[in-house]
Chains A and B, each alone.
Chain A
Amino acid sequence: DIQMTQSPSSLSASVGDRVTITCRASQSISSYLNWYQQKPGKAPKFLIYGASSLHSGVPSRFSGSGSGTDFTLTISSLQPEDFATYYCQQSYSIPRSFGQGTKLEIK
């Protein structure tokens, strides 16, 4: 099974900051990497597929990069609505493992 590891587990930042979250796979997954955002008490929201392609309607301040085993999610200028928990997920093989999550908090 492929293990997904995110870092950091939590992150404090201010509105307007640029933040980067890292996701590492235990083996190469090419670019089969998705990102999701989850707010407390809500279902996850799909953000990015194929490591770098934004889902329809996702603001352009979100971007993703990477391939192989190392990936990043970057938010170029944090907005108040971006404070949430972010998860990566590999779609390369079954089981479709998720990272443990990165909680983005307001500083």
Chain B
Amino acid sequence: EVQLVESGGGLVQPGGSLRLSCAASGFIFSNYWMHWVRQPPGKGLVWVSRSNSDGSSTSYADAVKGRFTISRDNAKNTLYLQMNSLRAEDTGVYYCARAAGFIGRDYYYYALDVWGQGTTVTVSS
């Protein structure tokens, strides 16, 4: 069964750090780009970051650039999100998701086809 399981969430004070993990199973992890998406309480989905298949290329949302670092260990089938200088507005559920490619009518499309169950991060004093 294809599965993503996040862990590492919790309560942290403003300015603190946290590292999230996402353990992948049931597919060849090293073949896929991976993303982090978060959801503030009662609000919508917000894209956070992505990593290419070997971790050599990464991208970030402006809101987290310079504070968050995405990385992966393909030998351990695990994706990470190191979060530093945390702020109250970073509070929410953090999902990891697999990016898969699909052949469409005219182009090759990418979508987040497998999601973890999410891990909750609360930044509060």
Contact = CB atoms under 8 A, between A and B. Distances in A.
B112 A95 contact: no
Interface stretch (B24-32, B41-49, B73-81, B82-90): B41-49
B44 A87 contact: yes
Interface of A: 1, 30-32, 34, 36, 38, 42-46, 49-50, 52-53, 55, 85, 87, 89, 91, 94-101
Contacts of A45: 115
A30 B107 contact: yes
B11 interface: no
B112 A46 contact: yes
Interface of B: 35, 37, 44-47, 50, 59, 61-62, 95, 97, 102, 104-107, 109-118
Contacts of A32: 107, 109
Given A31-B106, A95-B59, A96-B35, A46 B47 contact: no
Nearest to A53: B104
Contacts of B37: 44, 98
A49 B102 contact: yes
A35 to B, nearest CB: 9
A67 to B, nearest CB: 10
Classify the secondary structure of A's interface with B.
loop
Contacts of B45: 36, 38, 44, 87, 89, 98, 101
A96 B44 contact: no
Contact of B115 (A43, A89, A94): A43
B104 A50 contact: yes
A95 B47 contact: yes
B62 A43 contact: no
A43 B104 contact: no
A100 B44 contact: yes
B47 A44 contact: no
Closest 8 CB pairs of A and B: A50-B104, A43-B115, A101-B44, A50-B109, A49-B111, A34-B111, A96-B47, A98-B45
A74 to B, nearest CB: 18
A55 B46 CA distance: 22
A35 B59 CA distance: 22
Contacts of B109: 31-32, 34, 49-50, 53, 91
